Structure 1
């Protein structure tokens, strides 16, 4: 009988520990969905928005603390974000400062990507500096010549985007891309880095923009927001 009681108590303790772990995980997830960097440390904050975020209410986004928004616009030589025209109009109507992002594909010549970008992105001196998202690796192209010419082709694309917009670009560099090519130390442009909850350090020089969380929930969107801050 004594052994049976000990077994029952062990199972009860295990159950309580599991319940406590589940409650702690739930609390942590709840906090993650509400967390954003303190305004005292980062006074200027905003969001990155694209078709994957669904319908975004830009007035609500501004009311909940966004000082600016970046809009995913184009990718590669022909892909365009389906929500970009709507998002561009809505951001303008909400009087929310905005810029655009192009996802760079190293497998596609710079000239073709630039043609895609200039076709969809208007010339507007009021817009924020354009950002180039660097995530896809040239090694995925399966052509060593492409990988060897990555920096040259990227520089060509940068020059054409800057010629169209009249502003220096921001390089939105993923950790994977930076680890592979060290592009942050080879091309001197402002950096946009990413890391949930903790400041990123992988570029080995200061960043200008930081995607601080990809989990933030708010009334402006049904989906989680990618929340971005500016280096003070």
Structure 2
């Protein structure tokens, strides 16, 4: 009789643990796809998009209450987002602020990358400051000379892009890149940092843009969005 009672208790304990795990999983799934920072704390919020996200849907952006859009435009010396031109045209005259992102490749000379960016991104004073995505490490180039010249080359690239855009760039720095090169403390530009749900602090100084949820679902179409907020 005692063994049977213990078996029943064990069954219920295991069932409750299973329910707790399922509940936690459901909560995390819901939070992943539905959480965004409070509008009271961060009034201006928007989205980052590229070809993988499909064409810009203005109606869906308005439903999501996106105040701005950053479009992936170029990468390296010859990489170009297939939908950048189409998406840029779609955003014209909508009242939704928009800007361009360049994915910087430390293995490629700065001048070649700048030429790629200025060819595809128009000189438009109404656009948001260009964002330079820094994620690929210079160590991946396999050349210690290139790695040693990272800051110098990046500064050259920034200067040329800023000359084209007529405004300072934003450095979109990944946590791994910042840990390797502490670029935030060496190049004084506004920062765009990334961290789901919790405000990032890996740069050692305040951020201007924050990717707060990389998988927020758009209520209009159910597609995932990389949701970004602006520091007020």
Which TM-score applies when normalising by structure 1? 0.94
Mapped to 2, the partners of 1:56 and 1:231 lie a distance apart of 24
Which position in structure 1 is the counterpart of 2:51? 51
Could you tell me how far 1:222 is from its partner in structure 2?
Answer: 4.4
Q: Quick check: 2:55–2:86 contact (8 Å CA) kept in 1?
A: no
- Residue 158 of structure 1 corresponds to 158
84-93 vs 67-76, which moves further: 84-93
Kept in 2, the 8 Å contact 1:57–1:221? The answer is: no
2: CA distance between counterparts of 1:91 and 1:70?
Answer: 11
1:38 partner SS: coil
Give the conservation status (yes or no) of the 8 Å contact 2:110–2:157. Answer: yes
2:211 is the alignment partner of 1:211: yes
Could you tell me which residue of structure 1 aligns to residue 135 of structure 2?
A: 135
Q: Secondary structure at the match of 1:226?
A: strand
In 2: Cα distance, 1:89 partner to 1:20 partner: 49
- Paired with 1:143 and 1:62, the residues of 2 have a C-alpha distance of 46
SS of aligned partner of 2:7: helix
**Contact 1:45-1:229 at 8 Å conserved across structures:** yes
Which blocks of at least 5 consecutive residues in structure 2 are unaligned? Answer: none
Structure 1 stretches (4+) deviating beyond 6 angstroms?
A: none
Q: Hey, what's the Cα distance between the residues in 2 that align with 1:28 and 1:89?
A: 37
Are 2:63 and 1:63 aligned?
yes
Separation in structure 2 between the aligned mates of residue 77 and residue 230 of structure 1, nearest angstrom:
29
| Contact 1:53-1:221 at 8 Å conserved across structures | no
TM norm structure 2: 0.94
Paired residues of 1:130 and 1:170 also in contact (CA < 8 A): yes
2: CA distance, partners of 1:220 / 1:68: 17
Cα RMSD (Å) of the superposition? Answer: 1.5
SS in 1 for 2:71: strand
2:195 corresponds in structure 1 to 195
Unaligned runs of 5+ residues in structure 1 are none
- Quick one: distance in 1 between partners of 2:193 and 2:169? 14
Which residue is equivalent to 1:42? Answer: 42
- Cα distance, 1:118 vs structure 2: 1.0
Counterpart-to-counterpart distance in 2, 1:28 and 1:158: 39
CA distance in 1, matches of 2:56, 2:223: 9
